[in-house]
Amino acid sequence: MLKAVTAFGDFFLPRFCSSCNGKLQPAETVVCPACLSKIKFAEDERIRSEFKRKFASNNIITDFISLYVFEKDKELQHIIHSLKYSNRFLTGKFLGSVLSVHLKKVISGWKIDVLIPVPLHQLKKAERGYNQSFYIAKGLGNSLKIPVSERFIRRKKYTQSQTTMTLKERQENIEGAFKAKRKLNLDGKNILLLDDVITTGSTILECGKVLLKAGANKVYAVSVAIAD
């Protein structure tokens, strides 16, 4: 019966892949299997190398994990862009659920109390209408039974797009951009920060600093992808 209803709905309101825009089959969700199979996984050695390069020397992020490698003009970029700029909220929850399938063992070992998506400035959120990382976090949090909250930290500084910036420019651009919200107890909590793509790690580090200062026990990080 459910299959018949889905097929009926797809006939009148067909669903399309968030990457290639091809028509999805009734049993397919958000991204077609062909596109999903082309996305490059981040190998363990790459993750260890990225942690040393981005986070190890700062003593802010206890550990981090990422599932994919971000490649320009490839399937994952199309998927993330569809989430960020085309109001495809289900794409975020889909990505979060994919993270949960592959990263459950690692994240469960961290004993996370709260999952926090990296916040957008209120002006950028108003322009876009939503924070794409929130929907990824909801997909991950719902699957792993981890509370998701945007109440603990806010972005107080409107920052320019960091896409073309150098490491130093990114660090300067993001410095002092976040602030912990008052009257919220973080004491002793293990926090998991989530961003869609981690490039230099500057944004995650700034958020982590604020959370530790506010009393968090440990701060971990997760992303859909890592980029050079």
- Each of the 228 residues of the chain gets a pLDDT tens digit; together they read 434 434 434 444 689 999 999 999 999 999 999 999 999 999 999 999 999 999 999 999 999 999 999 999 999 999 999 999 888 989 999 999 999 999 999 999 999 999 999 999 888 888 888 899 999 999 999 999 999 999 999 988 777 666 666 767 777 778 888 999 877 789 999 999 999 999 999 999 999 999 999 999 999 999 999 998
Query: What domain range includes position 215?
Result: 39-226
Look at strands 190-198 and 114-117 and give their pairing. parallel
The CATH number of whichever domain residue 215 belongs to comes to: 3.40.50.2020
Residue 213 has which token pair? 């200062």
Give the three-state DSSP class for 82: helix
Are 23 and 131 contained in the same domain? no
Are 24 and 127 contained in the same domain? no
Helices (H), 74-148: 75-85, 89-109, 122-128, 132-144
Are 125 and 27 contained in the same domain? no
Are 54 and 144 contained in the same domain? yes
Say whether pTM exceeds 0.85: yes
Are 67 and 29 contained in the same domain? no
Report the number of distinct structural domains present in the chain.
2
Residue 1: the pLDDT is 40
Residue 100: the pLDDT is 98
Residue 164: the pLDDT is 66
Residue 12: the pLDDT is 45
Are 78 and 145 contained in the same domain? yes
Residue 126: the pLDDT is 82
Exposure on the CB side of residue 82, measured as CA atoms within 13 A = 23
Phi/psi for 155 (5° steps) reads -95, 110
Please list the residues that pair with 61 across neighbouring strands: 219
Maximum Cα–Cα distance across the chain: 57
Are 83 and 19 contained in the same domain? no
Alpha-carbon span 48 to 177, nearest angstrom = 27
